[in-house]
Amino acid sequence: MQSKEEFYIYYGVISFLSIEYLWELYLAIRQHRVYEEATELPTDLEDIMTPETYKKARVYNRDQSSFRIMKDLFAFIVTCLVIYVDGFVIFWKAGGQLAASLGSTGHSETLQTIGFALLMNLFNTLINMPFSVYHTFVVEERHGFNKQTAGFFIKDKIKEFLVGQAIMLPLFAAIIWIVRIGGTYFFIYLWVFAMMFSLFLLTIYPNYIMPLFDRYTPLSPGSLRTRIEELAASVKFPLYKLYVVEGSKRSNHSNAFFYGFFKNKRIVLFDTLLKDYKSESEKDTSKTEKNEEKENEKKESEKVGCDDDEVLAVLGHELGHWKLNHVIKTLVCMQVNLFLVFLVFGLLFQFKPMYAAFGFRNEQPVIIGLLIVLQFIFSPYHAILNFSMTILSRHHEFQADKFARDLGKAKYLRSALIKLSRDNLSFPVYDWLYSRWHYSHPPLLERLAALDKTD
Ligand SMILES: [Zn+2]
């Protein structure tokens, strides 16, 4: 350590990382104990789930919880090690060598940054891979959620990595350019640029990026489609297209969402949300007798998904998010936050002790400064921000439920929530502190109680 400031930054960062880790661990252990100890189905849940589903959900969530605790411990150790051995310096130098070996002559901060980011991302992807494999093929598999083959998984990960780099690397190059030529108020330009970039991503993401990973098929004409169109029209939702995504290739967790700007809204339903949905390929093969027999063998009670009335109730909830401007409100919060981040970065980015604390004593690369501010300096603030956003999100969920209730869909939303919770093996018992900190959706019983209210 060469200066007092450097010393304070270094130990400040390490202390906060440790406090945050211990806090999360404490919460995780509290919640884990619930999974271990709440073995009997509580009486107020008897109408909602069977003892078998309850047990399945408990074991599934217990496994998930053990997995997360191990993964978080690993991530914490890696982060500490990276700081301890001046890992950013190592990757920065290696990034420079990579750029040079690819023919970059002289020193270019942009090319070195691209090399650095590429190596960092590769490193992160590789060290997380064993966890990802274990999660998909052991944890999810054991509980019947995994639908991926090894081939699909590998292809998916490679695609994910390439798409990530294709977005991130030009973004970094642009950021460096803006910081270097922007003058005193560069952070304002940076913010405007980031805003435009995120709107651009929101525009291209659903149409060009999501289809790279999953198949989106328009919902075929029929009574469900007609009823959805009527529902959308009744609340003046500008429904442009209606898709079903074959999420069941990936996993069995079911959902629905909408996206798009202005008059071009699309609604996407997961095939797992729809009880009787069959993909085109399944329709073809089910013509053979053997498959039909298999279908008939499947008992009604074993089927996952919701019937049409329930799907419409779920959409009533989603339309509530739209009508009440929840997406825009969240987006505005994010942009205000981003401005704050860039402002602080603008104030700190020439502050040499901040770089020195991470081993950079002779140079102050833009990307390193941004990384330190975003990942470390801001982490106490981010913890509070996340907590506030979780509160806001829970509030929005209640509002959207109420919207669906006002559409007269309380009864079906009620049964849909119960079914979705069953299909996803959500566990209805929780530690209050853990739930307050982590759950962006209110627990099932609270939502049902709010739906049952009449006012
Ligand atoms: Zn919602």
Residue 263: predicted pLDDT: 75
Q: How far is CA 363 from CA 109, 111, 112, 266, in A?
A: 11, 16, 13, 48
CA 268 to chain centre: 17
Residue 292 counted as an annotated binding residue = no
In angstroms, what is the span from residue 107 Cα to ligand 1's centroid? 50
Identify the helix (H) or strand (E) that includes residue 108.
Answer: none
Encode the chain (455 residues) as per-residue pLDDT tens digits. Answer: 678 899 999 999 999 999 999 999 999 999 999 999 999 998 888 888 899 989 999 999 999 999 999 999 999 999 999 999 999 999 999 999 999 888 777 778 899 999 999 999 999 999 999 999 999 999 989 988 888 889 989 998 999 999 999 999 999 999 999 999 988 899 999 999 999 998 888 888 888 888 888 888 999 899 999 999 999 999 999 998 899 988 666 665 668 888 877 777 889 998 888 887 766 555 555 444 444 444 444 454 556 788 999 999 999 999 999 999 998 898 899 899 999 999 999 999 889 999 999 999 989 999 999 999 999 998 899 999 999 999 999 999 999 999 999 999 999 999 999 988 888 888 989 999 999 999 999 988 899 999 988 66
In angstroms, what is the span from residue 255 Cα to ligand 1's centroid? 10
Amino acid identity at 366: V
Task: Name the pairing type of β-strands 265-270 and 256-259.
Answer: antiparallel
Ranges of beta strands (E only) in 116-231 are 216-218
- Specify which residues 267 forms β-bridges with: 242, 258
In angstroms, what is the span from residue 422 Cα to ligand 1's centroid? 17
CA 138 to chain centre: 21
Amino acid identity at 177: W
In angstroms, what is the span from residue 351 Cα to ligand 1's centroid? 43
Q: Which residues are catalytic?
A: 318, 401
Residue 397 counted as an annotated binding residue = yes
Phi, psi of 251, deg, nearest 5: -160, 175
Surrounding residues of ion ligand 1, Cβ less than 5 A: 397, 400
Residue 154: predicted pLDDT: 93
Residue 135 counted as an annotated binding residue = no
Residue 275: predicted pLDDT: 82
In angstroms, what is the span from residue 409 Cα to ligand 1's centroid? 15
Ranges of beta strands (E only) in 148-236 are 216-218
In angstroms, what is the span from residue 398 Cα to ligand 1's centroid? 8
